[in-house]
Structure 1
Amino acid sequence: MQRHHSPFRADVVGSFLRPDAIKQARIQFAAGEIDAGQLRAVEDSAIREVVEQQCACGLHVVTDGEFRRAWWHFDFFDGLQGVERYDSEAGIQFNGVQTKAHGVRVTGKLGFGDHPMLEDFRFLQSISGSAQPKMTIPSPSVLHFRGGRKDIDSTVYPELDAYFDDLANTWRDAIHAFYEAGCRYLQLDDTVWAYLCSDDQRRQVRERGEDPDELARIYARVLNKALEGKPEDLTIGLHVCRGNFRSTWISEGG
């Protein structure tokens, strides 16, 4: 049975391997050989191609492959108010390989604001034809889980209850902003639920002084609050995985 509106019988997670043209353009941009407009033009071309490929496969839903991002989550966090990226002591440890050493921390009051990815969605929508464009963003729990209390400025949020309230409100604003931009299918990528099934990840949470079971309850409450008032014709998907970096994984367990 085929469905022509989300959720679909067949779907895609959202990310695709970045083509060489984008990789090369980013190297040139970092070296100052091309400007931001030229980089975006290369991305536009690659996104058009990957959308055409998805449509040719008969999919009723298309994504931009997350081709404008260097990271599936950090780039979204960078666009939020009150969040900054920093060079961490170590990368994220996967099975046998580690990512580059980057992290994000909360240095001010959280807010969605005029997020640059709204324009990214509008471009995808403009080229998606009869297919439904899907936007993917990280789930709110991802912003908290990796760093926990240490990556939240205690002068801004002396009590974490206020932080979690603002976290939920920020994502609720994001949901409504993407809806106003025309999005009717929004996916929240939430690797944390798989991490909370992992004995090793749960051990790490306890070692930093937190209770993984209590975190699960908090994250569920944040998600439910973020979804309050969701428009009826907006489909929200929750993507859960055990991590994926160079075909390796982070978490295992049941």
Structure 2
Amino acid sequence: MKKHFFSLVLAALMLAGSLRTSAWGPTGHRVTAEIASFYLTAKAKLAISRIIGNESLAMIANWPDFIKSDTTDKYKHTSSWHYLDFPGHISRQEFDRLLGEAKGENLYSQTLAMIKELKTASTTPERKRFALAFLVHMIGDMHQPLHVGRDEDMGGNKIQLSWFDRPTNLHKVWDEYLIDFQQYSYTEYSNILNRVVTASAAKSMQSGSIPDWMWQSHVLSDKVYAGSPEGAKLSYSYNYVFVEDLNAQLLKGGLRLARILNDTFK
């Protein structure tokens, strides 16, 4: 089973260039996963190694996107796990109400479900690998602001604009183009972000709850929408405006993933 799980990962890696990914895209998800690995407790590291062996969190971080290429529809039910949309410019009270009333399987409900599966002793090894990969991925997803964006434009997918004269959409810019513009490998990027954060700042970023983190991302989405109108021509100035937000979200995602994993495997 373990061999089959990671054979899917390796096969998908070869196809990744032709796949439409979601959330941070391959590099962003690996950055958050790699940052998380710097902050794991000894217990968490041991528990994770029992689930994925010598594989790293960064190696499994994109599997939930890669399986979208599966033609058997075995994983079709997981497509709604990557996001949860809200109206723009709502209050925290309204956000919490909508979060509590959200129906079906979504980013919030399935994050909690994967944590529960990992904590349950009777969960099978195969299912634990599945749950760990999705948990790593979904914590990354919730820090991409357009994954808690607006339903009417499918999290920015319907907002057409250009990136350095290349026709694209807003979601794609935040998934990949803005990250790729920094021109770092995921290991370089994660190390750079980790070096600039102090211990006290890291602890502060790890505080709060999953709803708190999703709310913060949603508030950022309002800023992103305001700065990225339909038909906009995005280039150097866009990076200047948003690179600090981008870096903060990647860093927070990694730090908070570590907290979740440490709490799960304590």
Give the alignment's TM-score, normalised by structure 2: 0.30
Which structure has the bigger radius of gyration?
1
Give the alignment's TM-score, normalised by structure 1: 0.31
Bigger helix fraction: 2
Bigger strand fraction: 1
